[in-house]
Amino acid sequence: MSEHAFTDAQREGLYRAIHERRDVRSQFLPDPIAPDVLARLLRAAHHAPSVGFMQPWDFIVIDRLQTKQAVKSLYDRANADAAENYAGDRAALYRRLKLEGIVESPINLCITCDRTRGGPHVLGRNTMLDADLFSTCLAVQNLWLAARAEGIGVGWVSIVDPVELAGVLALPTHVVPLAYLCLGYVSEFLARPELETAGWRARLPLDSLLHGNQWAEPLRDEALLLALRDSTTDTPR
């Protein structure tokens, strides 16, 4: 084991946050998030890696009911449009799903991406121009895992038109609203993802997603395959 590895307890805490993280929609409590706790979450997000160390993110902390309601109206319209993609039982199931907690959660947080930060030539971004967006997603994940460690639920609301959302939040034209998040303490963290429990989709088996060296080649590392079969870390708690 590396001398740089965490202790067993620290490592278990990290993996617990990863496997018990949930996209929360229905379990928010009205309890406020203390400023020092929210500060820790924002600091965790700000310590995400980023291409060329450009740190393209900004954080809009939203606690005004009027703003939440305006975003909720955007969601309602976009969700009605999305429901038209499905028919029959699938459409009925979609309409039963609760896919946001915008008004119920005490804090909404929009994490944005400034696509001009760092100037026209960002180190490492010459061939992958969307690496700034990928970097901002890492800030979202940092915040999400830190929130789980604090006992705070997070829900990502993606069913909104980004142009309309940018208008509601008065964003500059070069800034993209990458993630609109609902944050708050919760009554429970579900044992399994809500969409899995509802029967929308199941978790794919990891061994069906593995390849060796090239896409068409199966993974032939028997020791790794055996370790995957023996491991329980892919099972939600």
The whole-number pLDDT of residue 46 equals 98
Q: How much is the pLDDT for 91?
A: 96
Task: For 131-175, write each residue's pLDDT tens digit.
Answer: 999 999 999 999 999 999 999 999 999 999 999 999 999 999 999
Please give the pLDDT value at position 147: 98
pLDDT at 123 over 90: yes
* pLDDT band at 229; cut points 50, 70, 90: confident
pLDDT band at 1 (very low <50, low <70, confident <90, very high): confident
Q: Which domains can be identified in the chain, with CATH numbers?
A: 12-202 (3.40.109.10), 204-237 (no CATH)
Beta strands 152-156; 57-62: pairing state: unpaired
User: What residue type is 52 in one-letter code?
Assistant: G
Q: Check whether 85 has a pLDDT greater than 60.
A: yes
Mean pLDDT for the stretch of residues 75-100 = 97
Summarize pLDDT for 20-52 with one digit per residue, the tens: 999 999 999 999 999 999 999 999 999 999 999
- Per-residue pLDDT tens over the stretch 190-202: 999 999 999 999 9
Q: Is the pLDDT of residue 236 over 50?
A: no
Segment 203-223 shows an average pLDDT of 95
> Average model confidence (pLDDT) for the chain?
95
What per-residue confidence (pLDDT) applies to 233? 52
205-213 mean pLDDT = 94
Instruction: Assess whether pLDDT exceeds 70 at residue 56.
Output: yes
Residue 232 has pLDDT above 80, yes or no: no
